[in-house]
Amino acid sequence: MKAFVLLKVDVGRLFDVLNEVKNVPNVLEAYAITGEWDIIACMEVEKPEKIAEIVGQKLQGLPGVRGTLTFVAVSE
């Protein structure tokens, strides 16, 4: 199961946070993006509960992260 997470980060912290996001377990890839959100991360998990765990405990807990928005893929 794949999920995509958008992250908003503090000004001046973009690349620090991006590097940390790339090191979070289950994150396959992450990119700095333009627009209202700053980073998009793609992650893959076996159980839906793992999404909440990774987003709530790992990604939202990173210094500089101000908010997240998660999308779960329903087909590939």
pLDDT tens-digit profile of 18-72? 999 999 999 999 999 999 999 999 999 999 999 999 999 999 999 999 999 999 9
pLDDT in the model for residue 12: 97
Q: Which amino acid is at 72?
A: V
pLDDT at 76: 80
- How many Cα atoms are found within 13 Å in the side-chain-facing hemisphere of 33? 15
Tokens 């973009």 found at: 14
Give CA–CA dist 15/73, Å, rounded: 26
Q: How many domains does the chain contain in total?
A: 1
Give 29: exposed, middle or buried? Use CB within 10 Å, 0-12, 13-18, 19+: exposed
Residue 20 domain boundaries: 2-35+45-65
Residue 18 lies in a domain: yes
Does residue 72 lie in a domain region?
Answer: no
